[in-house]
Amino acid sequence: MEKTCITVGRVLLGIYFLLPGISKIPAYAGTAEYMLLHNIPLVSILLPITIVLQVGLGAMLIIGYRIKESALILAALTIFINIGMHDFWNEYPNTDAGHEIQNFVKNLAIFAGLLV
């Protein structure tokens, strides 16, 4: 039972990264604009890297290949995204601070799951 729960958790964490990574491809311009709104530097470099990491490492978690390394890299990515993109302590046009707080806390839980 424990092994089944761990596998299901790992697959769900992989899906959590795989699907958003894939969705960033057709929504590339909008994602880049959102990153620029949050003053993220080097968007033309960081966005493609993020897509590759989310898709590649998410898939690796799903299939169970190099789990520890994949989870650690995704944990670091999650913290960087959290600080840069869900910075609820700053105000931006057309953003809801309550929603950003919710995303920030949710990402901390995802980070914790990746560490486990």
Least confident of 11-20, 82-91, 104-113: 82-91
pLDDT tens, residue by residue, 61-81 = 999 999 999 999 999 999 999
* Cα 110 from Cα 53, distance rounded (Å): 16
Cα–Cα distances (Å) from 113 to 4, 23, 30, 47, 54, in that order, read 16, 22, 28, 24, 16
3-state secondary structure of 27: coil
* Cα 27 from Cα 21, distance rounded (Å): 10
Per-residue pLDDT, 93:
86
